[in-house]
Amino acid sequence: MSKKVTQVVEEMVNPILEPLNLELVDIEYVKEGKDWFLRVFIDSEGGVDIEDCGTVSEKLSEKLDEVDPIPYNYFLEVSSPGAERPLKKDKDFQKAIGKQVYIKTYEPIDGEKVFEGELVSFDGNIVTVSVKIKTRTKTFEIPYEKVASARLAVTFN
């Protein structure tokens, strides 16, 4: 059910975002406690503000009321993905090259399942991450299909 809802919402929200020069980062449709939440994460090159979120929320809410694809009562939340933005699509990985990332894999790669370091490259099949381990740096080549989750990482120096 939640997969179908996210696909329908994606088809509805993209035409709203395009003229505003905003991009869809992610959609979640989840139950927390007794309540359902539809969360839409948006972004742009210069970031998004509360007005952008409000505009998208208003327009999407109208569309959702028209089409009514969700049988339950739910809360609609439109927001920025934040500093630790998830990397979901190929283009997200491409844009993150040279930045700090946090990656979890489905199974160990060289004995590790969690990698935090600089995203060195991404060719569509292999994610290459340079990780500092104490005083040395080690490069890991992670098959893309083994990435369980990935996001930008905020580091404090």
Q: How many CB atoms lie within 10 A of CB 90?
A: 12
Q: Distances from the Cα of 92 to the Cαs of 43, 50, 81, 102, 134, in angstroms?
A: 12, 23, 12, 13, 28
* 84-143 residue pLDDT tens: 888 988 988 999 999 999 999 999 998 999 999 999 999 999 999 999 988 899 999 999
Q: Do 109 and 144 meet the contact criterion of CB atoms below 8 Å apart?
A: no
* 5-58 residue pLDDT tens: 889 999 999 999 999 999 999 999 999 999 999 999 999 888 899 999 999 999
On average, the pLDDT of the chain sits at 91
Q: Do 130 and 117 meet the contact criterion of CB atoms below 8 Å apart?
A: yes
CA dihedral 117, 107, 109, 105 (to 10 degrees): -20
* CATH match for 90-152 among 1.10.3720.10, 2.30.30.180, 3.30.70.1350, 1.10.10.10: 2.30.30.180
Residue 1: per-residue pLDDT:
47
CA 87 from chain centre, in angstroms, equals: 5
CATH class of the structural domain 2-79: alpha beta
Residue 17: per-residue pLDDT:
96
Rounded Cα–Cα distance for residues 42 and 117 (Å) = 25
Instruction: Say if 2-79 and 90-152 have the same CATH topology.
Output: no
Q: Do 38 and 68 meet the contact criterion of CB atoms below 8 Å apart?
A: no
CA 44 from chain centre, in angstroms, equals: 13
Domain ranges for the chain: 2-79, 90-152
Q: How many CA atoms lie within 13 A of 120 on its CB side?
A: 15
